[in-house]
Amino acid sequence: MAADPRFHPAAGPQSLAAILAAAGATADAPADVTFEGVASLSEAGPREVSFFDRDRMAAALAATRAGAVILRPEAAGRLPPGCIAIRAAHPALAFARVAALFHPAPPPNGIRHPTAVIAATARLAPDVSVGPFAVIGEGAEIGAGSVIHAHAVIGPGVVLGPGSVVHAHASISHAICGARVVLHPGARVGQEGFGFVPDEKGRYVTMPQLGRVILGDDVQVGANACIDRGTLEDTVIGPGTRIDNLVQIGHNCRLGEGCILAGQAGLSGSVIAEDRVVLAGQAGIADHVRLGRGARIGAQAGIMSDVPPGTDVIGTPGRPVRSFMREVATLRRLAAAGRPKNEQDRT
């Protein structure tokens, strides 16, 4: 089905010309043909646009009723009769841009709810929107086009660049952020890191956490994810990095550009992840480990030592995928060799 307008207001109809411009695509059809929205191949109707980029979607493509489908040029011949082929080198990327054309993010309106608490020394661009019961601390700076939703807390001195969005119940302190940073509901940024030392009686003394969090342009932090501030250095998240829900990033970590951290991944303190590192769900990284550029860490992997650039690693302790698979195959052969003959026959 198309997006529910109660939750996703539509900016349609859109002409094919506008769709092609947004997608960076081509089509052999009149430019003034209009469409009302986007939908999946199986749900789209004649006035809607969909996309196809994987063979596992082939059955849905053959049966689609969509008026137009974004796909690679070589797949255009697989469309049902009457469906317009919108040709793009990267269909999913093109579709994302077309979907945003039909459903753009609501612009800020400059309204500050009367229940919001905004410090007198805070500096907000004129069009910044602030929702009910939000709190903005002394000396905070919030750039043009930003939106602060209900119950969000922006700590003293925090800087949020233009176009940033802080969703409901998220909080941020001790942080300097670039443009278009997004904190999803319940995200926590800038809180005290997990640092302490035992005293003479074995009791724990908290190590003052005197660093900051630096978020680059276009960083997004998922719901209930946590990023601790640094101890004496900064915790740094590079431009374009995407952090999923329920991720933990410890103090002094430094992530490069365009990293991806999937749900429930965890980084101990002082981890360095170079550009384009990917962590799958529930992957755990020990403290002071360095992940080389483009390394990919599999789901539930436990990484206790440095990972070279471009390496795919799985398992606990983590090791290269091929090594891990060879070990698993060897264990299976040994287990099979040790079983009674009648049990082997049954398996």
* Backbone phi and psi for residue 63, each to the nearest 5 degrees, phi listed first: -100, 0
* Other Cβ atoms closer than 10 A to 338: 9
Q: Per this entry, what is the length of the chain?
A: 347
**Tokens standing for residue 208:** 């003052």
* Backbone phi and psi for residue 334, each to the nearest 5 degrees, phi listed first: -65, -40
Instruction: Specify the DSSP class assigned to residue 174.
Output: S
Q: Phi-psi region for residue 263, left (φ > 0), alpha (ψ -120 to 50) or beta?
A: beta
Q: Is 251 a catalytic residue?
A: yes
Nearest C-alpha neighbor of 116 from the set 137, 141, 133: 133
Kind plus residue range of the DSSP H or E element containing 61: helix 58-63
Nearest C-alpha neighbor of 279 from the set 266, 270, 292, 290: 266
Determine which one of 174, 184, 251, 288 is catalytic. Answer: 251
- Measured CA to CA in angstroms, residue 150 lies from 92, 113, 168 at distances of 33, 9, 5
Amino acid type, 17:
A
Nearest C-alpha neighbor of 63 from the set 50, 340, 145, 310: 50
To the nearest 10 degrees (0 to 180), the angle between helices 91-102 and 16-23 is 130
For 244-256, b/e burial (b = at least 16 CB within 10 A) is bbbbbbbbbbbbb
Amino acid type, 267:
L
Residues identified as active-site = 251
